[in-house]
Amino acid sequence: MTHDTLSRLEAQVRDLEATARETGQNLDAALEPLRAEVKRLRAERSASLTRWDRVQLARMPGRPTALDYVERLCTDFTELHGDRAYGDDPALIGGPARWQGTPVMLLMQQKGRDTKSKIKRRFGSANPEGYRKAMRLMDLADRFGLPVVSLIDTQGAYPGIEAEERGQGWAIAESIQRMVRLRVPAVSVVIGEGGSGGALAIGVGNRVLIQENAWYSVISPEGAASIIWKDASKAPQAAEALKVTAADLLDLGIVEEVIAEPPGGAHLDVDAAAQAVGEAVSRHLAELSNLDGEALRAERARRFRALGAFTEV
């Protein structure tokens, strides 16, 4: 069946569901076969997507940003600014909030929603002061017993010379080290792109989750292609070799859960995407809530030390 067939069946399901709601009729007998066929076709289409297709979906215009999730899932969010050393970084933001009623400390990479805000936020690529701000918020989380929820969406840390002059690599390393030492639960979610140390700096969670069409890798496909083949146009080939997709990461044990997206991608139904992310994060926070600080710290360190497959000779 073609994509047009799937779209037609999805429209039929929506129309019947709307009729059932408006009239109070029980239309399950007609709906169930259609829903089953839609589910089968979605799985078939999803299975046919290449790794490069997934990367493109993660970059799709209109894909929800971190603040889109905060608007739908959080109350009482108070953004805290500055690293108390140099300045504020609009690419990496955070502060205390209530995540579906649970008090948390948020850390988020914010890409921006339009051209002006994307330029302001450098497409989610943080400077050293962004990571130092993240560490300041981690300190506050430990002090006040707030679980940390981080939303990851960046192609990588900002590569400008001014970032290097202010200690970019050192700031990332310190942020990773600080997050390992947290004595509160930490849940990290890759909601779009998860590139290199820029993503890992706020990704050292007890649980790491990823949305279905997000990617997470030590380097972007374009970066790998430029290094290996001296040709960024070979990015699709690099994406296949890197195994960057959510399914790959689950198979490799790098993430604990893949969060399903609405059919076609999160950009087509932001509310449904947010509902799925909210439920998954809340569930993992609840599971971690019974562990004490030392157990959380030890589990987190153990989790990351165990990553990777190798053979000793």
106-159 pLDDT, tens digit per residue, is 999 999 888 999 999 998 999 999 999 999 999 999 999 999 999 999 999 999
Tokens (6 digits) for 175? 């942020």
pTM comes to: 0.84
For residue 44, the model assigns a pLDDT of 67
**For residue 181, which of 130, 127, 141, 133 has the smallest C-alpha distance?**
141
pLDDT at 69 over 70: yes
Q: Read off the pLDDT of each residue in 278-299 and give the average, rounded to a whole number.
A: 95
- Read off the pLDDT band of 1 (50, 70, 90): very low
Going 113 to 119 to 125 to 131, the CA torsion angle's sign is negative
Tokens (6 digits) for 57? 């979906």
pLDDT at 280 over 50: yes
Q: Find the range with the poorest average confidence among 8-22, 187-201, 218-232, 283-297.
A: 8-22
For residue 60, the model assigns a pLDDT of 92
Going 190 to 191 to 194 to 198, the CA torsion angle's sign is negative
Q: Read off the pLDDT of each residue in 74-93 and give the average, rounded to a whole number.
A: 95
In terms of Cβ atoms closer than 10 Å to its own Cβ (0-12, 13-18, 19+), residue 204 is buried
Q: Could you give phi then psi for residue 238, rounded to 5 degrees?
A: -65, -40
Looking at the chain, the whole-number percentage of residues with pLDDT higher than 70 is: 96
Mean pLDDT of the chain: 92
Cα 234 to Cα 174: distance, rounded to the nearest angstrom: 34
Cα 177 to Cα 175: distance, rounded to the nearest angstrom: 5
Q: Read off the pLDDT of each residue in 186-199 and give the average, rounded to a whole number.
A: 95
